[in-house]
Structure 1
Amino acid sequence: ETDQSTPLTPLTPAAPVETKEPVSIAVILPFMLNEETPSKSAMRYTEFYKGFLIAVDSLRSNGAPIHVTAYDTEGSVLKVREALTDTAFRKHNAIIAPDNASQLAILAEYGKNNNVKVFNTFLVRDKSYLTNPSVMHGNLPSVLMYRKATNALMERLSYSTPVFVSFKGENGDKAEFVSALKQSLTDKGNTFMNIEVDGRLESADLRALPTDGNYTFIPTSSRQADLNRIMPGIIEWRDEAVTPMVRLFGYPEWTTFRGETLDNMHNLNTTVYSRFYTHEDAPRTHDIDAKYKKWYGNRMENAVPRQGLLGFDTGMFVIPYLLHEASSYDGVQNGYFFTTAGDGAGSYNDALYFINFRPGNIIEKSRI
């Protein structure tokens, strides 16, 4: 084994070699094994690690030994520093970092000084990747996410009139995104409409719209209760008018909705943007679910995102990346498409998806 990893440049992996060096990865997470009864948070990090090990098993035939060492932070900076003093730690080529800013900062500095990649999966708002070439930011930063979603939506609005729906006397939680989208529409000379409703949207609120139009309704709120106050009125107006083409555009939070809300989203041919999505009926999802149940005797927690799938997808990207064989991965739940953040900086995951809930309970996921 080598004591130090070879410098890697995101998106420009070296050509595979016949004899592959071993890959060694440190997974440093708050497993909280010191607790008599682990918290739900600790159980989720354990689930992540279990999913990661399934990825290791899936990649055993790649021709290189894969070594994974788990370190329990116990929620303590001291434990992280203690791990770094272990001489065996120097063998690692990459570190899966915890969700604590102070602990991540320590590991990021270690990675920079020792040429080790530090994979930040859990701290979405961390900005160390902007100044540290060793940090790989596993989520598309929010500002870039809004910009990318706005640009992609602008293309889809070429032949559709956007209709922004807000509630009288209430502030929507998506003001930043809506403001950016309206500015883009204004800059390009595209028209849009604003509808402010009192309480809930009624079909009568839309009767001023020409029935020969093509409309994309965009609520200013992502809350499920607010969405349920909007969709029935749009459906009723569309069915009464017969002729208009109607779509709905929304937000990542909507991927968690079920029941009547989801049925209405399908009815309105709804598209949302999201950093990740799990199609529960997809064969890949079923395969990982079955293996997880076989290995561990229980199922993954029904959460969004599912930590077991996040761990699996992370492993399926990180290991081939370290072997110089892959710079991108479109996963079961999470995708990884890293790009550099500038000279002397690290890299960030550029993955963003449109999830289209079509009529007939059809769901389509496409990268944008």
Structure 2
Amino acid sequence: MKVRLYLSLIAITIFSLSGFCQTDKLPRKNVDGKEFYIYTVDKSEGFYALFRKFGTSQSDIIKYNPEAKNGLKQSQTILIPIDDSTENTSRNEVSTNQQEKNNQERVFEVNSGNKFFNHTVKRGETLYAIALMYQIPIKDITDANPGTEQGIREGAILKIPQSYQTGKVPEPVSSQDKPKADTNEQFIFHTIESGETLYSVSKKYNTEIESILLNNPGISPSHFNIGTVLRIIPGIKKAVEKATKTEYTAYKVQKNETLYSIARHFNISVDDIIACNPGLKSIKKDQIINIPKTVQYIVPEKALTNDEIDRIYNRLYKCDKKEAVNVAVILPFMLNNKPDSKSNLYIDYYQGLLMAVDSLKRKGTSVNLYVYDSEGSDATVRSILNKKEMSAIDMIIAPEQDSQIEIIADYALKHNINVVNSFSLKSNEVTHNAKIFQTNIPHSYLYAEASNRFIKKFRNKEIVFLNSKEEGSSSKEFSKILKDDLNKEKITYKELNFDSELKVNALDDMLNQCSNVIFVPTSGSRTMLSKIMAPLVTFSNDHSDMDISLFGYPEWITYTNEQLNNYHKLNTFIFSRFYANVTDNDYKDFNSKYHYWYNQNMVNAYPLYAVLGFDTGLYFLEALRKYGHNFGNKTHNMHSKALQTDFQFERINNWSGFINKSFYFVNFTPAYNIVKIKN
């Protein structure tokens, strides 16, 4: 069964009266001599809905309402420019020119083949993440892709149902994940195909290239990759350009007619008739004369060149060096309460950030910090965002609470402010808000990237998984991913299962023919580590001729003090988002300065919050100084020299924010060195 989506062409489509807003009831406002309607955005209304009401394009709305650049919000008050296409129009007032009739309606057939679009699964993506990305229930994806309920693999092509075709508001992924106001605009999702360009896609959906770029900040003429997905608001093309020309009709003079009577009949002047009939001085019955007629026609649209599209892109995402950087820090310092361990961590983070500010000021960067205590309260955060100085803020460092990140993210998207999420791994704002920078790589991406790096580095070793039957399955996510990847690469591995104790003789029996081994426990728990460490050290001592390594988990960093000697004996590699090497000279210098500044030691935590604040400050403040508000599209040019946390940001999709995909392999070598491996 075919479903039709009617995409109306601005200024040439015949609308019914019910399709227009009753503009006579709207208040008006004159701004610099131009008339506007004052309009309040309804729930779930987007640019397409306003175009249907007023015939006003997205680009024109944004022109007079710059705050609408990143989407419309319920109850937002905007100005709608009044012109000929905005006033109520009846059917009898619309031109019936044949050329316009042929272009009145553009129909897209949405049949069983394209009620869906294709999504290619990226490394680390989960069904939950994809469902959040497109604001649809997981069940809709699994119903369209039988078997995916058992899991998805990198490179798999999923059919994702279009929600636009039914005109419904997408269902939330769960009761906790409700669609945001800026995601209710009923986008059509389009998968880029071979040979397509920004211009051809804009023509297909009768929309502006500028609109596609606004709604997909991850694309440009030079970054338009086959297989990636765009979100598009269709049918918001600017009014077509029209021109006039003169045509001539042959007319046979009737009995008793005069030039004057003929001119009145055709609503033209006698001079108009004489001008197109050279030498005509008088007329007689049955004489053939030319009658001029002014007709309107649509000027053919000229395809934009890549250079012209680049100019649009550079205007939308202009990068300028900033003389002064304005940053708001909104954290739960809990200054009106008795200090606790958590608030002390945020104070430590802030103190490290201050040291980064000082470092940049010494290099000539002017930084203005606005620091607020969120008090752990949503209401306090809203109150902070209403402060006058927030209008000049370039970046907000957000607290850990997800509800407060959501409040800040919505505000930041509306006001084009970057948001740094340094603390929460659970917030989903990054999946659909282009202004979010999540500095902690999410678990699924971390495990996928760690598995990929493991295979590149250790594929020639004998890989042995150590599995304690007493460990729960919930802690085995990484080892499952790694085994799947090894199987896909056709790399063999061994598994040794044990109960409460790992036996050295079991290792001897399994590995008596091996010379190069790496052990991978299937759990990172302290209990698992205590079960395997002594037997592995004994096995290593008994086989000094064997090249032995141990691979461990991020939480093992917190056990370093008690296990440091054993880590070195077993040539241990630990994958982790964070690592500060206390023997590193740069770290020693920072630690010394911290103690000098604050006359105290850093709070002992994992990660070290003072160092996290310092690393974050150096990276983002330098990015703002160098590229301004839109530094996100320049992250590939930015390199960090961090003490504890490096940054390598990538978008999840073409309209999302950024996640930090940087992490380390920390190698405790038998020579008692500690090597931090980035790549």
Common fold: TM-score over 0.5? yes
Partner of 1:198: 499
Partner of 2:528: 226
1:334 to 625, 638, 645: 645
Mapping 1:62-141, distance limit 5 Å: 62-141=363-442
Residue 197 to residue 23, structure 1, CA distance change in 2 (3 Å) = same
CA deviation map 1:26-68 (0-9, x unaligned):
0000011111x21111111111111100100000034342100
For 1:134, give the aligned amino acid: K
For 1:100, give the aligned amino acid: Q
Deviation at 1:14, TM superposition (A): 7.5
CA deviation map 1:280-334 (0-9, x unaligned):
1111111111111111111111111111111111110110111126633131111
Deviation at 1:16, TM superposition (A): 6.8
Q: Secondary structure at the match of 2:390?
A: helix
Deviation at 1:229, TM superposition (A): 1.6
Q: For residues 305 and 241 of structure 1, what CA distance do their matches in structure 2 show?
A: 36
1:357 to 653, 664, 668: 668
Mapping 1:110-259, distance limit 5 Å: 110-171=411-472, 174-208=475-509, 209-259=511-561
Structure 2 length-normalised TM: 0.51
User: Is the CA contact 2:471–2:523 (under 8 Å) kept in the aligned structure 1?
Assistant: no
Q: For residues 562 and 389 of structure 2, what CA distance do their matches in structure 1 show?
A: 54
Q: Secondary structure at the match of 1:320?
A: helix
Partner of 1:268: 570
Q: For residues 324 and 237 of structure 1, what CA distance do their matches in structure 2 show?
A: 54
Q: For residues 237 and 289 of structure 1, what CA distance do their matches in structure 2 show?
A: 38
Deviation at 1:260, TM superposition (A): 4.8
Deviation at 1:174, TM superposition (A): 3.2
Q: For residues 14 and 210 of structure 1, what CA distance do their matches in structure 2 show?
A: 63
Q: For residues 14 and 332 of structure 1, what CA distance do their matches in structure 2 show?
A: 31
For 1:292, give the aligned amino acid: Y
Q: For residues 340 and 272 of structure 1, what CA distance do their matches in structure 2 show?
A: 26
Q: Secondary structure at the match of 1:236?
A: helix
Q: Secondary structure at the match of 2:404?
A: helix
User: Is the CA contact 2:405–2:427 (under 8 Å) kept in the aligned structure 1?
Assistant: no
Partner of 2:207: none
Instruction: Between the two structures, name the one with larger relative contact order (CA 8 Å, sep ≥ 6).
Output: 1
For 1:198, give the aligned amino acid: D
Structure 1 consecutive aligned stretches of length 4 or more whose deviation exceeds 6 Å:
12-16
Deviation at 1:192, TM superposition (A): 0.8
Partner of 2:591: 289
Partner of 2:335: 33
Q: For residues 157 and 291 of structure 1, what CA distance do their matches in structure 2 show?
A: 39
Cα RMSD for the two superposed structures: 2.4
Partner of 2:226: none
Deviation at 1:213, TM superposition (A): 2.9
Count of residues in correspondence between the two structures: 362
User: Is the CA contact 2:462–2:514 (under 8 Å) kept in the aligned structure 1?
Assistant: no
Residue 106 to residue 318, structure 1, CA distance change in 2 (3 Å) = same
Structure with larger Rg: 2
2:344 to 17, 35, 43: 43
1:280 to 582, 586, 605: 582
Q: For residues 266 and 155 of structure 1, what CA distance do their matches in structure 2 show?
A: 22
Range with bigger deviation, 277-286 or 195-204: 195-204
Q: Secondary structure at the match of 2:655?
A: coil
Q: For residues 610 and 561 of structure 2, what CA distance do their matches in structure 1 show?
A: 24
Deviation at 1:238, TM superposition (A): 3.1
Unaligned runs of 5+ in 2: 1-66, 71-216, 219-313, 628-636
Q: For residues 23 and 265 of structure 1, what CA distance do their matches in structure 2 show?
A: 43
User: Is the CA contact 2:402–2:426 (under 8 Å) kept in the aligned structure 1?
Assistant: no
Residue 105 to residue 330, structure 1, CA distance change in 2 (3 Å) = same
Residue 143 to residue 66, structure 1, CA distance change in 2 (3 Å) = same
Q: Secondary structure at the match of 1:336?
A: coil
Deviation at 1:152, TM superposition (A): 0.3
Q: For residues 89 and 259 of structure 1, what CA distance do their matches in structure 2 show?
A: 44
Q: Secondary structure at the match of 1:59?
A: helix
1:303 to 587, 595, 605: 605
Q: For residues 320 and 677 of structure 2, what CA distance do their matches in structure 1 show?
A: 29
Q: For residues 173 and 259 of structure 1, what CA distance do their matches in structure 2 show?
A: 26
Deviation at 1:259, TM superposition (A): 4.4
Deviation at 1:365, TM superposition (A): 0.2
User: Is the CA contact 1:252–1:274 (under 8 Å) kept in the aligned structure 2?
Assistant: yes
Range with bigger deviation, 206-215 or 126-135: 206-215
2:659 to 348, 356, 362: 348
Deviation at 1:89, TM superposition (A): 1.2
Q: For residues 470 and 378 of structure 2, what CA distance do their matches in structure 1 show?
A: 45
Q: For residues 137 and 119 of structure 1, what CA distance do their matches in structure 2 show?
A: 6
Q: For residues 260 and 50 of structure 1, what CA distance do their matches in structure 2 show?
A: 29
Structure 1 length-normalised TM: 0.92
User: Is the CA contact 1:28–1:72 (under 8 Å) kept in the aligned structure 2?
Assistant: yes
Equivalent pairs: percent with the same residue?
33
Deviation at 1:76, TM superposition (A): 0.7
User: Is the CA contact 1:202–1:234 (under 8 Å) kept in the aligned structure 2?
Assistant: no
Deviation at 1:130, TM superposition (A): 1.2
Unaligned runs of 5+ in 1: none
Q: Secondary structure at the match of 2:410?
A: helix
